Structure 1
């Protein structure tokens, strides 16, 4: 029986960083402009890769001065960024577990903000046998090491795994280490892709 390996953000949990900064700006356009100025995406990827929040804030202040100030509230406001589950995905995961599949997860998620995920979605701790968190491991998808960490830590074979992620690059990363992989575009499409593999 195949093991199913889920991504979390945008597959099970919707993530939108803008609400974390709403208190600092007048409107959504101003937030987006600021995020572009401080290269929020690049900054956040380094956080996901294992940099601490203290280190990240220091780097942002050095690069952007006072313009980096809204980042100081990011961890406190992080629950606002993950307020909603992705429709239909949890039901699929639950049904797979009930059918006897072993469930795992690999997520690009900062170590400092990971506790908010466990508080907001406590089922994560019982639904999955193991969750590999990039910020804890110091590894990022689509680097081979993060997939191999899951494989080695749990004594499973990559060709026994189906990996699900919304990122094309991460899907290719999983395939590169020998996993089957599905790019997530929505819960109904996922059901169909699993059904094509004889699952569900």
Structure 2
């Protein structure tokens, strides 16, 4: 069971929300907006996302950011453009992803995605040509909750037809890994900035392969 952002994918342009072309789109509609307001507006948007108990509505998120920029009544055209597919890719895979997913698939490991994300992630993964590695997607907007809500993890294991103790959950947030372990799942934190791999933290997805082989040998994990 994989988290998506920070584990499998990273944002082009270095930030998740708003996407990289946000400033250009807003300025094309409202050239009077002061550039210096964008950092504060992006922070307000993040506060809005963090306060939500489920993945927030995308339009409400954009309205919050735009209001901080002084755009109190954004046009429907502006909102549609912000939510329409970008002209180019928005996210990309980490270099180790396709290699490791292929190796896991060859080993018969069944995989799902458990992500705090908007509906549409599955289509994005199809564009990245990795959708077919996964049995299904547990997406917070669709489920109406976010990790560490137990329903997120339960949907990820349901998609695999496995019990919690048979599943390994990988996330870049150690608190969300801890929550999974409290529910009976195996858990590993992926920290790409860590100095070395330990029993609870890996620095690359490549480190999963020997761990899973060891667990399968001892019967610890499914």
Q: TM-score under structure 1 normalisation?
A: 0.75
CA–CA separation in structure 2 for the residues paired with 1:129 and 1:123: 11
Q: Which residue of 1 aligns with 2:204?
A: 189
Gaps of 5+ in 2: 28-32, 193-201, 217-222
Tell me the alpha carbon deviations over residues 14-37 of structure 1, each in whole angstroms, 9 at most, x when there is no partner.
12235131304699976433212x
Equivalent residue in structure 2 for 1:174, among 171, 180, 184 = 180
Q: 1:70-149 residue pairs with structure 2 within 5 A?
A: 72=79, 73-76=81-84, 82-111=90-119, 113-114=120-121, 117-124=124-131, 126-149=132-155
Contact 1:6 1:104 in 2 (8 A): yes
Q: Which residue of 1 aligns with 2:48?
A: 43
Gaps of 5+ in 1: none
> Radius of gyration: which is bigger?
2
For residue 150 of structure 1, report the CA deviation from its aligned partner.
2.4
Tell me the alpha carbon deviations over residues 22-64 of structure 1, each in whole angstroms, 9 at most, x when there is no partner.
304699976433212xx22233457892443345456667787
Equivalent residue in structure 2 for 1:14, among 10, 21, 27 = 10
**Which sits farther off after the overlay, 139-148 or 12-21?**
12-21
For residue 83 of structure 1, report the CA deviation from its aligned partner.
3.1
Structure with the bigger percentage of helix: 1
Q: Which residue of 2 aligns with 1:53?
A: 58
For residue 165 of structure 1, report the CA deviation from its aligned partner.
0.9
**Which sits farther off after the overlay, 6-15 or 150-159?**
150-159
Larger RCO (CA under 8 A, 6+ residues apart): 1
For residue 108 of structure 1, report the CA deviation from its aligned partner.
0.8
